[in-house]
Amino acid sequence: MGTYNIHAGHCPQGKGAYGAVGILKESVEDRIVKNRVISALRNAGNTVYDCTDDTNCDENTNLARIVRKCNEHAVDLDISIHLNSGRCDSGGDGSTGGVEVWCYDSGTSKIAQRICDQVSAALKLHNRGVKYSQGLYVLNSTLSPALLVECCFVDDMDDARVWDANACGDAIASAILDRTVTGNASKDVVKQIPGKAAYPENRLNYRVHQQSYGWLPVVRDGQAAGITGRSKRLEALKIDLKMSGVKLKASAHIQSIGTVHYGYITRDTVIGTVGKGLRLEAVALEAEGLPKGTDIYIRYHVQGEGWSVWIRGGEAGTYGLSKRMEALQIKIC
């Protein structure tokens, strides 16, 4: 088994030298990814040290503290987790900024390439590939081999639409070990859907209407619909289920209106409201006619609580708490 140092870059969000901020917040998301990578590596029997610096300090002090923690351990690899910036694409141009990995030299290039490949495949992000620099402090000052992962761009709407910190963490850990591993559930890391493989691509498509953005692009089975980290409410949802013999019922709890039952829905059914400025607070889905042993699962990102676990039976959100949902994922498996 291996031994690893893992850390999230920068100070915590809002403290000292915190990371880049755009549609996503680097110092928030990189810590979720870091936790997931650590959990996945430990689940696979490896020794992992968390070298993240969570103090309130300036950039130089933050870097020095991270490197000092790393150099306290003799490890196979140091991994620094970051999110990139510089795309300035808040509206979305249909092209993701993507993932890249920085190395000091070619000694870590094979693992770095696997990380690029697996994160790109898991999140449908552009693969920017392996890059080299001897000027990055974390790479040139750690005693063990090191690499720095730029998971996606915080200021690219296309990246934000597909972003999933937990899936990213699993992909990084799997690339490091060159086999599939996954992290455990915690308040930052959600449970995985059990067992069976999902249906083929595009059997289940859906999109959301979000405050300030309108209708977002269609996503498919299991992908995130909605933008987190911007305090924007979901207002409506459309679902297109393309499975012969399967019917879908829906209901929703809407701000100021309460629970609305839609019965059997089609791809044109608007679950929620558009143009009224009302929160979509909860959604319940019921699938009829699914093959034995399969079900519909839903996961939601809610105001003040982050991502929920995957919920079998398709009920998401809160009732009577006046909280907005900010993103959804739906999957049949």
Cα 250 to the center of its chain, rounded Å: 26
C-alpha distances in Å from residue 247, one per residue of 178, 205, 260, 272, 290:
40, 14, 18, 19, 8
DSSP 24-86: SBHHHHHHHHHHHHHHHHHHTT-EEEE----S---HHHHHHHHHHHHTTS--SEEEEEEEE--
Q: Is 293 exposed, middle or buried (0-12, 13-18, 19+ CB in 10 A)?
A: exposed
- pLDDT category at 107 given cuts 50, 70, 90 is very high
pLDDT, mean of residues 110-137: 96
Phi-psi region of 264 (alpha: psi -120 to 50; beta: other; left: phi over 0): beta
Judged against a pLDDT cut of 70, whether residue 325 lies above it is answered with yes
Judged against a pLDDT cut of 90, whether residue 52 lies above it is answered with yes
pLDDT, mean of residues 17-31: 94
pLDDT over 70, % of the chain = 94
Contact 77, 5 (CB under 8 A): yes
Of 308 and 189, the structure prediction assigns the larger pLDDT to 308
Domain ranges of the chain: 3-177, 204-332
Tell which residue, 251, 250, 322, has the closest CA to residue 281. Answer: 322
User: What is the SS3 assignment for 55?
Assistant: coil
pLDDT, mean of residues 138-154: 96
The CATH homologous superfamily of the domain defined by 3-177: Zn-dependent exopeptidases (3.40.630.40)
Tell which residue, 227, 209, 207, 226, has the closest CA to residue 217. Answer: 207
CA distance 100 to 260: 45
Q: In this predicted structure, what is the pLDDT of residue 112?
A: 98
What DSSP state is assigned to residue 262?
A: E
Residues sharing a CB contact under 8 Å with residue 222, sequence separation 6 or more, in sequence order:
198, 329, 330, 331
Q: In this predicted structure, what is the pLDDT of residue 80?
A: 98
Structure tokens at 24: 């996503």
Number of C-alpha atoms within 13 angstroms, CB side, residue 142? 31
Q: What is the CA radius of gyration of the chain?
A: 21
- pLDDT category at 200 given cuts 50, 70, 90 is very low
Range with the poorest average pLDDT among 27-36, 160-169, 275-284, 308-317? 308-317
Q: In this predicted structure, what is the pLDDT of residue 229?
A: 79
Judged against a pLDDT cut of 90, whether residue 124 lies above it is answered with yes
Structure tokens at 225: 């619909």
pLDDT, mean of residues 267-287: 95
pLDDT in tens, 203-252: 889 999 999 989 988 888 888 899 887 889 999 999 999 888 999 999 99
- pLDDT category at 184 given cuts 50, 70, 90 is low
Judged against a pLDDT cut of 90, whether residue 173 lies above it is answered with yes
